[in-house]
């Protein structure tokens, strides 16, 4: 498994061996949201960085999952539509949202690494 990268919006990304990038939300985001009760995965197709890709609703709030980089969504985790609790049970594994082919695979290196993300979440906790 490749090293995870993170966005400031608490999404994780993992570059897979096949060149696709898997996207989900971090345990930090999952805990902040509480029990996830609904997930709408994205349609397959091209998205720009920052575009709304997926939607999830929890007992606390609704949230959008943004496209972290320019790319084409080529696979979605349709299981989440009938079993949204997977986001709570395994946010870094079976609770993934979608996979995409990045327009520039090197762009993932510009996202937060684990140390930078840990600092971000610590700063949020201290605020």
pLDDT tens string 80-102: 999 999 999 999 999 999 999 99
Distance from the first to the final alpha carbon of the chain? 33
> What local confidence, expressed as pLDDT, does residue 1 receive?
38
Instruction: Decide yes or no: CATH 2.40.50.100 for domain 4-122.
Output: yes
The reply to whether the predicted model has a pTM over 0.85 is yes
Smallest CA-to-CA distance from 77 within 117, 16, 24 is with 24
Domain ranges of the chain: 4-122
């Amino acid at each position: 498994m490749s090293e995870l990268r993170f966005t400031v919006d608490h999404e994780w990304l993992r570059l897979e061996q096949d060149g696709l990038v898997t996207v989900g939300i971090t345990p930090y985001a999952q805990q902040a949201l509480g029990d996830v009760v609904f997930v709408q995965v994205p349609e397959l197709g091209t998205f720009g960085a920052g575009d709304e890709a997926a939607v999830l609703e929890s007992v606390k709030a609704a949230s959008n999952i943004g496209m972290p980089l320019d790319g084409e969504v080529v696979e979605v985790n349709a299981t989440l539509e009938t079993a949204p609790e997977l986001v709570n049970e395994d946010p870094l594994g079976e609770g993934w949202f979608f996979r995409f082919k990045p327009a520039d695979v090197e762009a993932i290196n510009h996202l937060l690494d684990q140390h930078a993300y840990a600092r971000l979440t610590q700063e949020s906790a201290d605020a």
